[in-house]
Amino acid sequence: MTVFKACFMIVKRHYAALALYFSIFMVLAVAMTALSADNFSTDFSATRPAFTLITRDGHTPLLAGLASYLREHGNEVVLDDRTEALQDASFYHATDYIAIVPQGFHDAFFDGEPLKIETVLTTESAKGYYADRLVTQYLNLARLYQAAGDIDEETIISSVLKDLSIEAPVEKKHFGAGAPVNEGFQLYAQIVCYIIIVLIILCISNITSAFRRPDLRMRNLCAPTKPRSFSGQQILCGAVVSIAAWLLLMTIGFALYGSQLSGTDGRIIGLILLNTFIVTVVALSLASLASLFIRSPNSQSAAANLLALGLCFLGGVFVPLHMMGESILTVSKFTPTYWYSTALEHICTLTSFGGDVLAPVWQAMLMQLAFALAIFCVALVISKYQNQSERFFSSIQTELEA
């Protein structure tokens, strides 16, 4: 296993560069997942808008009921009935909703010709619209009771408030798959694909470029070791390094999001791990192909980044697939990263584990493996061709340069 050990030492010598890449990627990944996590909150809590009720029609039971109903669902902000005060409050978002009840509103309401309530909604505030809906709901219901016939105002108000207090019970249930996958972890699993591809291409190209130097190749060919053994030990080292990178990245993922995955079905976590492992295999085959064309050590990082970025952008790792146009989606289906993203998307939305439900997941994973196999075969063919021609070429060079 001399070659195997030498390969490890070569990777070790590039440790600083790899560690730098790794750190940068990790910071980016963590930052991206942290920033995106807010957008994916799945918790529910009732919104309580800040409202202001200005009444210029005195204190009538109708308006008292409205105020009481609004207080139940929101937080009242008391303001003076002055234009400047109302404008300031609205500008500084002190209140989400201001309702100004005009003089004569009560009488007009019960005469069947209601006056319009003047409202001020804070721009881009969903809470303001919610408060407005509460007011409309209350008045509509009151109008309904009033239209029903000979009911006094007190009864109307109490009936309206009683009706509005009825709540439909909501129970949150998960079927089969436990808690949904934490969105941060899902995003991490998505981005990790890029890190895996870059790291593995860098490691493998370091090994390959060292062993493919013509003079070293010639010296190795003089040794009593079969060329197949040389290649086998290099591939084995590449595989071990890739698995180590995968394990490390997954461990970090669990260290960051493990506590938020406690309720998630273990089978889903297992499928995510399997999917990332398969993309690691894809990255290994990609690296074995790419490293055949990377000649100088200086071009390694550029080539690794270019390839990984291209595949990840096209494959929907950085940009969600549903945001892509039809033509781009057609092209992206020819990238293994598309199938990685698709598999991950399916896995994270699983609620049961029936054969039909899992079929798209297996299909996407098999597609990735098919890509890996195809790329690896191409790499083998090119490598064989290059070995034959390079062996010849390097020897001529040696002679003519002498």
Partner 1 sequence: MIQVHNLVKRYGDLIALDHFDLTIHKGEIFGLLGPNGSGKTTAINCMLSLLKYSKGEVKLFGQPMGPNRYALKKRIGVVMQNVAVFNELTVIENINYFCGLYVPDKAKRKALVEEAIDFTGLGDYRKFLPKKLSGGLLRRLNIACGIAHKPELIFLDEPTVAVDPQSRNHILEGIRKLNQDGATVVYTSHYMEEVEQLCSRIMIMDKGKAVATGTKEELKAMIRTGEKLTVELHALPESILEEIRGIEGLVQVDYADNTLTMRYAAGGHHLSTVLDILRRHDISFGRVFSEPPTLNDVFLEITGTELKD
Applying CB under 8 A, the residues found at the interface with partner 1 are 2-3, 5-6, 9-10, 13-14, 206, 210, 213, 215-216, 218-226, 391-392, 395-396, 398-400, 402
In the complex, minimum distance from the CB of residue 9 to partner 1, in angstroms, rounded to a whole number: 6
Q: Which CB, 260 or 386, lies closer to partner 1?
A: 386
- For the record, the structure tokens of 150 come out as 């000979």
Q: Which CB, 221 or 370, lies closer to partner 1?
A: 221
With H, G, I as helix, E, B as strand and everything else as coil, classify residue 178. Answer: strand
In the complex, minimum distance from the CB of residue 25 to partner 1, in angstroms, rounded to a whole number: 23
CA distance linking residue 383 with residue 385, whole number of Å: 5
Residue 101: Cβ within 10 Å count? 24
In the complex, minimum distance from the CB of residue 12 to partner 1, in angstroms, rounded to a whole number: 8
Q: Which CB, 124 or 401, lies closer to partner 1?
A: 401
In the complex, minimum distance from the CB of residue 185 to partner 1, in angstroms, rounded to a whole number: 36
In the complex, minimum distance from the CB of residue 235 to partner 1, in angstroms, rounded to a whole number: 18
CA distance linking residue 228 with residue 232, whole number of Å: 6
Per-position b or e across 39-66, b if 16+ CB within 10 A of its CB: eeeeeeeeeebbbbbbbebeebebbebb
CA distance linking residue 338 with residue 315, whole number of Å: 4
Q: Identify whether the C-beta of residue 96 lies closer than 8 Å to the C-beta of residue 122.
A: yes
Task: Give every CB contact of residue 55 below 8 A, 6+ residues apart in sequence.
Answer: 63, 101
Q: Which CB, 214 or 360, lies closer to partner 1?
A: 214
Q: Which CB, 151 or 221, lies closer to partner 1?
A: 221
Tell me the pairing of strands 97-101 and 118-121: antiparallel
In the complex, minimum distance from the CB of residue 226 to partner 1, in angstroms, rounded to a whole number: 7
Q: Which CB, 5 or 174, lies closer to partner 1?
A: 5
Dihedral pair phi/psi, residue 178, rounded to 5°:
65, -155
Q: Which CB, 297 or 310, lies closer to partner 1?
A: 297
Look-up of token digits 């390694």: 300
In the complex, minimum distance from the CB of residue 30 to partner 1, in angstroms, rounded to a whole number: 31
In the complex, minimum distance from the CB of residue 294 to partner 1, in angstroms, rounded to a whole number: 15
Helix (H) or strand (E) run with residue 119 in it: strand 118-121
Q: Which CB, 162 or 228, lies closer to partner 1?
A: 228
Q: Identify whether the C-beta of residue 105 lies closer than 8 Å to the C-beta of residue 115.
A: yes
Cα Rg of the chain (Å, integer): 33
In the complex, minimum distance from the CB of residue 240 to partner 1, in angstroms, rounded to a whole number: 17
Nearest to 51 by CA among 66, 31, 33: 66
Q: Which CB, 2 or 251, lies closer to partner 1?
A: 2
With H, G, I as helix, E, B as strand and everything else as coil, classify residue 76. Answer: strand
